Structures are given as structure tokens and as C-alpha cells.
Amino acid sequence: MKIRHILGISGGKDSAALSIYLKQKYPNLKIEYYNSDTGCELAETELLIDRLGAYLGHITRLRAAEGSPEPTPFEHFLKAAGGFLPSPQARWCTKKMKLDEFERFVGDDMAISYVGIRGDEDRDGYISSKSNIQSIFPFRRNIWSLDVVNKFLHNENIHQITNIYDRLCPNGFMKEDLMEVVKRPITKQFYYSKKLNALLDFDVKMFNHAVFEFLHTTDYPVGKLSEEEFPLLDNDDVIVKDDVFRLLRECGVGVPKYYEEIPFEVDGKKGTYCRSRSGCYFCFYQQKIEWIWLYEQHPDLFKKAMSFEKDGYTWNQGESLADLIKPERIRQIKLDVIKRQEENKKQNKGTTLADIFGDEIMCANCFI
């Protein structure tokens, strides 16, 4: 049975670095790279995707609403939604422009989707509701998705997992301690993540091989592969943010321009701003200071985003973009950021927007 290996290029640093990492470390892994084109990305994002396409060889561009008279897929679906803007509570943009196209791209094929969540992030990524698509997270110590881990560690499988570990673990002074952890059932005190980390602390590679053997008794796509076809079993790398930037720079693709800190000054105080992540230029998850960055660095796109606000629908709850760019409001937003940057500096912490606000993706589907 053919199993497809696929990786979504969002235009952000993490998915770009993951594609580079896998190409360099596993050149024989035949990965299909794709991008969900919303028609609403920054020019800096498009440049990164073009450079990455040259490095990888090919990136398939998926685009929703092909043939629509509207200039972008977003405007097509916005019209269909009656002008109702997407929001954290109603993320129709994600579903219509990305998730539906991704699942159409995969179809009914068995597929492994590689997702670029880093080892220094505490979040779970996109897990498809379709049983033929399985997510893998190569940058983390635990490469397996939450559904796989919970199934593997479920109390009803203790006997099966015990037999697997008994075969995999060589005899020695550690085996008795390891088997004690394996045999210990999940309880309120010894919950899933605690048992997971205990097993990973013993041996990451052994844990991977144990899960892999277990998956052969399930319908998960990885369970259809041989060890030679899935070389990540022996990978115990943990890739963090600094590694991501290093990978991008060393291969020549470069860091997306929107991460470059641009200085500004307010009331004699100095700060910097940029964008903390990729995504549509009007993404409702971006911080207020990122909207100001867009207003000052890409005024045409800000004006376009403003044009979508009407009939009471605004990108930011309780505040229109017209109100956001009033001089006193801009001044206050910038002063707030300067204050937080100064506080971080005193604590020897990073001062970029990603350091201050975090760069966790609020909507994992948006970055598949």
C-alpha cells in the first residue's frame, strides 16, 4: 500500500525549517510539499515560498474557489458569508481556504502529514478527523500526536505494551525500573502526560519503536510502513526556535522579512516592532501592535483590511481599524509594547514580539 508523505508550507519559519530539516536529514523520504494559497499573504511570505520552492524542487499550490470572479478566495467566501468576517469563534476562513483544500489534496489516500511544532512549544498541532491522515511532529521529543499517545497508553493495552517493551528492552539494571513504569496503569495521579514523559526519559528511540510496533495493530498510516520506510523512529533531536532560524539562514533560503525588527520612537522612548508569525495580512489573531506595523509598513493592505469592516463586523472585538489608527491610540499601543520590551530586557528575556506575546499558533489548521 502506498503511503504519501506530505508537508504543508505555510510561509512561516517553522514549516519552512521543517521542510529543510527533513530534506537534509532524510533525503530518501519522498515528501510532497504543498501550500494553501489564500491570495491574502504578504509579499514577504510569497518571497519565502518562492525561495523554498527553488530549494526543495517543487511546492504544489492549492487554491480554493478556482474560477470565482472574486479576486481572492477570501473575498469569494466572504461574499458567500454575507460579509460576516471570520473570528476566533467562527474560523470559516481556515476551513474554506485551507482545511478543505488540504483534505481534497489528500483524498482517500493514506497519508502522513509532517507538522512543524517545535520542541520548545507547549501545544498540540492539527490532527485530521479523517482516519487516513496521521500527523507527525519531527521537531518534538515526542513525535506522536495526542490521539496516538492516548491510544497507546490506554489501560486496556497495558498487556500488549508490556510485551512490546519486554522484547525491545535489553536485559540490564534499567529494565526492571522501565517495566515498572510500563505496567503502571493510568490514574488521576499518574496521568497520560506523566507516563509519557517517564517513558521518554528512559529512552526516546525505544518509545518510538514501541509505538511503531503497536501502530501495526491499528489502521494508522504509519503502521503500514516498515522501519526502513519511516526513519524518524531513531531520531531524538529536539528543534527549538534558535535552530529554526539557523536552518533557514544556513541553507540560503533566509528568514522571512516580516520577522525583521523595525525601530520606532514615541515620547522619546524607543521600541521595535515586526510580525510575530505568518498568515493572512488581516489575521484576527495578530496583536494590536502588528496591526500598527501593517498600517505603517503596508498601508495599502491595511486600507484593504479596513474595507472589509462594515455592518458592525470588525477584525478586533470592540474596536474598528479606523479607531485603532487614531494618533493617540497608536501612541498608547506603542508605549505599551515599549514597556513590555523594557521589562523583558531587565529580566534578560527576548524583546521581539514573538518573545513578548509568544508565537504559538492559535489556530493549528491555519498552518497545515
In this predicted model, what pLDDT tens digit does every residue of 233-291 receive, in sequence order? 999 999 999 999 999 999 999 998 898 999 999 999 999 999 988 889 999 999 999 99
* DSSP string over 179-209: HHHHHSPP-SSS-HHHHHHHHHHH-HHHHHH
Interhelix angle 204-215/158-168, nearest 10 degrees: 130
- Going from the C-alpha of 190 to that of each of 175, 179, 197, 204, the distances in angstroms are 20, 15, 11, 19
289-315 exposure pattern, b = at least 16 Cβ within 10 A, e = fewer: bbbbbbbebbeebbeebbebbeeebbb
* DSSP string over 301-360: HHHHHHHT-BTTB-SBTTB-HHHHTSHHHHHHHHHHHHHHHHHHHHTT---SHHHHH---
pTM for the complete prediction?
A: 0.92
Question: What average pLDDT does range 174-180 have in this prediction?
Answer: 95
- The closest alpha carbon to 333, from 271, 283, 281, belongs to 271
- Going from the C-alpha of 172 to that of each of 159, 178, 179, the distances in angstroms are 21, 10, 11
C-alpha grid cell, residue 351: 524583546
| pLDDT for residue 53 | 96
pLDDT, one tens digit per residue, over 40-92 is 999 999 999 999 999 999 999 999 999 999 999 999 999 999 999 999 888 89
Of how many residues is the chain composed?
368
For the chain, what percent of residues have pLDDT higher than 90?
A: 84
- pLDDT at position 368 over 60: no
- pLDDT at position 10 over 60: yes
- Going from the C-alpha of 283 to that of each of 38, 213, 262, the distances in angstroms are 12, 41, 20
Burial (CB count within 10 angstroms: exposed 0-12, middle 13-18, buried 19+), residue 346:
exposed
| pLDDT for residue 52 | 96
Question: What average pLDDT does range 181-201 have in this prediction?
Answer: 97
Q: How far apart, in whole angstroms, are the C-alpha atoms of residue 151 and residue 8?
A: 26
Q: How far apart, in whole angstroms, are the C-alpha atoms of residue 143 and residue 135?
A: 9
| pLDDT for residue 122 | 82
- pLDDT at position 367 over 60: no
Question: What average pLDDT does range 116-139 have in this prediction?
Answer: 89
At CA 290, angle to CA 72 and CA 340, rounded to 5? 165
